[in-house]
Structure 1
Amino acid sequence: MARLTVPLVLFGALIALLLVGRVTSVQAQDIEPRAFSNAPIGVNFLIAGYGYTRGGLAFDSSVPVTDPQLETSSAVLGYARVIDLWGQSGKVDVMVPYSWLSGTAESAGQPIERIVDGFADPRFRLSVNLLGAPALTLEEFRDYKQDLIVGASLQVSAPWGQYDNSRVVNLGTNRWWFKPEIGVSKAVGPWTFELAGAVTLYTENQDFLNGGTRAQEPLYSLQGHVIRGFRSGVWASLDVTHFTGGRTTINDTLNNDLQRNWRLGGTLALPVDAHNSIKLYASSGVAARTGNNFDLIGIAWQYRWGGGL
């Protein structure tokens, strides 16, 4: 009996890990391996995570401060479900972060200090795999082997986080943003190679610092991942991303804050059993035109159910 149970447990854990990275990031400059992958239709995921950042403001990398010495701790709760979209696998997910922020920076040449906690802006996403990841039941998925996957997604951030219009540093951004993304994922033996490009579009914050207007140009991003999977269900990845654009305007004054930032990171995913998995991740800014850079470490736990499990 044990010989039959162990492979099933490892199979279940591996499928759970396909989505463990979907709803754990808390920063705008995401590095997200396995964003486009296949999983059985009807499976649900509950994700709880913790992330710690040090340096710049992770929620808004274009906030107009210099020499940021900020620390944030964020608890993240998320939910995702695999769905059938026109015969292809798709996903819907939502992420809600609660954050604690403290530290100092300079704004307009003056030192400022901020200590605050509350909800940051929630995020919602719809993803669909356009090629190479058909909608499959759990039984059908047992025989599935990835080759080339092409996928697309749309993520939306709602301005519902805590916001104080008398402060330049906040947990919420008081604006919507929309991030369409397209990506490819190619499996070669135990290795998977991924590349994804996106653009983030921002609405105006019309209550910036006591009634001012802050606008931001689109921010373009490109991220790549080299992932190594193991028979035990463990996988590890080396992650890199580049951001450019995102110049801001405050009250019709164009700022010299064009972003050209590089980040490098790593991810380790560990199966626990057929329903539970854990992910460890970290990333750091290796080059940035602007001074609002940060380091990140985090951990996430995921529980899955449904879809015939």
Structure 2
Amino acid sequence: MAEKSKLLVLRFFWLCLFGLFAQQIQAQEIEARAYSNAPINMNFLTGGIAQAKSGAYTITTEAASLTHVLDVFGQSGRLTLVVPFAQLSGTGSVGGQAINASAEGLSDPMIKASVNLYGAPALSIEQFKGYEQDLIIGASLAATIPWGQYNNSQLVNVGANRSVIQPGFGASKAVGPWRLELAGMASIYTSNTSFLGSNTLTQNPIYSAETHVIYYFPNTAWISADATYFTGGQTYVNGMAAGGTQENWRFGTTLSYPIDKQNSIRLTGSTGIYSRTNTDYNAVGISWQYRWGGWP
């Protein structure tokens, strides 16, 4: 009976931290302007830091990303690589048992390919000056690479020892200085066969839908109000259910402000307003973006 209780404690604690970790590191965060147009051969280099807190636990992530805009059969597309480094810490109590969380290291990198299927023609930087958005429809496919630091003898890690594959689809509609966006995504998980030793952790897909209302200022700064909904993601250990289906509602905001023609700063914040499985967290972040290229 004691061993069974211990396993239940571990399952519950894992679900809480996994929900926090997966949404923060595996791109389940709210992302405005996922489907937009930019001149082909433009490059974006971004570096930033974000922190998320859930109860007594905190995860801090520093990340660098590189995006290249390219021509995909006459429409613009993007290739993005994200490399994160994370620190997880906190001390809490679950079922009367003290749980200490401490992990630091490289998290799982992510590679993402997206293509605009309609409304975002591939344009040079000179041609782009005359472009005005109407309706954009696009699709994307992202995947994490399980290169992050992972120790199968501890419960909490900054690497997941498995991949997450994320197909997505979305649309963006321009109405004067406003952009109205709607997107959906599925997160499909491979198995971790080294969970707490030689156990096998599996998880059902998480399905998400998000919407954004964005306003552009005359100086190209923009601000958005964001909302997202997640459902699914029940986990299993060796085929036995380790928790219920997740269901989460989150709201957030993003502000992007240009420093000059090549540099901009971005501030983000989001909070959970409902969570069926107690995986709520509050998150804030700041990043700096440098762009160059756009040659013919």
- TM-score, reference length from structure 2: 0.89
Are 2:291 and 1:304 aligned? yes
Residue 183 of structure 1 deviates from its aligned partner by: 0.1
Amino acid at match of 2:227: V
Separation of aligned partners in 1, 2:169 and 2:93: 37
C-alpha separation in 1, matches of 2:115 and 2:139: 6
Seen in structure 2, the aligned counterparts of structure 1 residues 196 and 109 have a Cα distance that, compared at 3 Å, is farther
Q: Distance in 1 between matches of 2:25 and 2:47?
A: 12
Range that drifts further, 237-246 or 107-116 = 107-116
**1:24-61 deviations in Å (ceiling 9; x for gaps):** x6454310000000000000111000101111xxxxxx
The DSSP-based 3-state class of the residue aligned with 1:186 is strand
How many Å apart are 1:100 and its aligned residue? 1.4
Q: Return the offset for 1:233.
A: 1.1
1:92 aligns to 2:91 (yes or no): no
Q: Which residue of 1 aligns with 2:90?
A: 103
8 A contact 2:103–2:156 mirrored in 1: no
Seen in structure 2, the aligned counterparts of structure 1 residues 158 and 34 have a Cα distance that, compared at 3 Å, is: same
Q: Which residue of 2 aligns with 1:38?
A: 37
Equivalent residue, structure 2, for 1:12: none
CA–CA separation in structure 2 for the residues paired with 1:28 and 1:94: 12
Q: Give 1:164 shift.
A: 1.3
Q: CA deviation at 1:115?
A: 1.9
Q: Does 1:217 align with 2:214?
A: no
Amino acid aligned to 1:165: N
> How big is the shift at 1:109?
6.2
**1:201, 1:108 → 2: CA distance?**
31
Structure 2 counterparts to residues 195-274 of structure 1, below 5 A: 195-274=182-261
Q: How much does 1:138 deviate? A: 0.4
Moved over 4 A (4+): 105-109
2:136 aligned with 1:137: no
Bigger relative contact order, structure 1 or 2, given CA contacts below 8 A and separation 6+? 1
Q: Distance in 2 between matches of 1:247 and 1:106?
A: 23
Pick aligned residue for 2:62 from 70, 75, 82: 75
In structure 1, distance between residues paired with 2:221 and 2:95: 48
Letter in 2 for 1:308: W
Q: Write the letter of the residue equivalent to 2:253.
A: G
CA, structure 1 residues 27+281, in 2 after alignment: closer, same or farther (shift >3 Å)? farther
* Mapped partners of 1:135, 1:183: distance in 2: 18
For residue 189 of structure 1, what is the aligned residue in structure 2?
176
Query: SS of the residue aligned with 1:136?
Result: coil
* Displacement of 1:199: 0.6
Partner of 1:139, secondary structure, is helix
Do the aligned partners of 2:87 and 2:104 also contact (CA within 8 Å) in 1?
Answer: yes
Aligned-residue identity in percent: 47
Q: Which moved more, 1:69-78 or 1:122-131?
A: 69-78
Per the alignment, residue 273 of structure 2 pairs with 286
Q: Secondary structure at the match of 2:53?
A: strand
Paired with 2:162 and 2:122, the residues of 1 have a C-alpha distance of 35
Q: Is the 8 A contact 1:92 1:125 kept in 2?
A: yes
Partner secondary structure for residue 126 of structure 2? helix
Equivalent in the alignment of 1:115: 102
Report the residue type matching 2:281 in the other structure.
F
Maintained 8 Å contact 1:177/1:203: yes
Deviations 1:79-114 (A, max 9, x none): 000000011100000101111111024567632102
Contact kept, 8 Å, 1:26 with 1:51, in 2: the verdict is no
Offset at residue 294 of structure 1 (A): 1.0
Decide which of 136, 143, 152 is 1:156's aligned counterpart.
143
Give the CA deviation at 1:147.
Answer: 0.3
Find the residue that maps to 1:76 and give its secondary structure: strand
Structure 2 CA distance for partners of 1:235 and 1:196, relative to 1, 3 Å: same
- Which residues of 2 match residues 173-184 of structure 1 at below 5 A? 173-184=160-171
Q: In the alignment, what sits opposite 2:50?
A: 51
The separation in 1 between residues aligned to 2:283 and 2:162, in whole angstroms, is 24
| Cross-structure match for 1:165 | 152
Partners of 1:70 and 1:33 lie apart in 2 by 27
Q: Distance in 2 between matches of 1:183 and 1:109?
A: 45
CA deviations on 1:160-189 (whole Å, 9 max, x unpaired) are 111111122110111011000000000000
